[in-house]
Amino acid sequence: MLRYLNKCSHGRGAWLLMAFTALALELVALWFQHVMLLKPCVLCIYERSALFGVMGAGIVGAIAPKTPLRFVAILIWLYSAWRGIQLAYEHTMIQLHPSPFMTCDFAARFPSWLPLDKWLPQVFVASGDCAEKQWQFLSLEMPQWLLGIFVAYFVVAALVLIAQPFKPKKRDLFGR
């Protein structure tokens, strides 16, 4: 399996697939916000940002998968997935154990050099409450689904990183 993951990390297809899955999740989030009129909270916006990080890692990996740039993409992927896990876990705990002492901010705080909420307010402006449960599927709330998604991204990223020293086997004419 590790040899297979190493082989996949050297091709553009796997990286583009990862970027596409993150893009699909972003489009679903925008559907929830603008069509179903669900209000994203600050943690939702930060979770979106982590998904954009995963998508960015896929794009970086697809640019030059056979070069050391692949390792930069893996690090971006690991970091974004880990931050997504942290954010989705915090969001899940706020929803499962509501408390007046555990709340989220009213507005997202992006760095001054990257004011995403000013550049793309349709995507990065929060208007909801983190403790409010707005959507559920198979008895799980949205942050619980995101927690599972980010864990899956992280596990695969860790396996791909571990697989890097495992070179694919060279096969001769008779498949040995």
Active site positions, annotated: 41, 44, 48, 104, 130
CB atoms within 10 A of CB 163: 18
Q: Which residues pair with 137 in a beta bridge?
A: 140
Location of structure tokens 């070179």: 167
C-alpha span between 48 and 61 (Å, rounded):
20
| SS3 state at 170 | coil
- Give a three-class secondary structure readout of 88-138: HHHHHHHHHCCECCECCCCCCCCCCCCCHHHHCHHHHCCCCCCCCCCCEEC
Contact 105, 17 (CB under 8 A): no
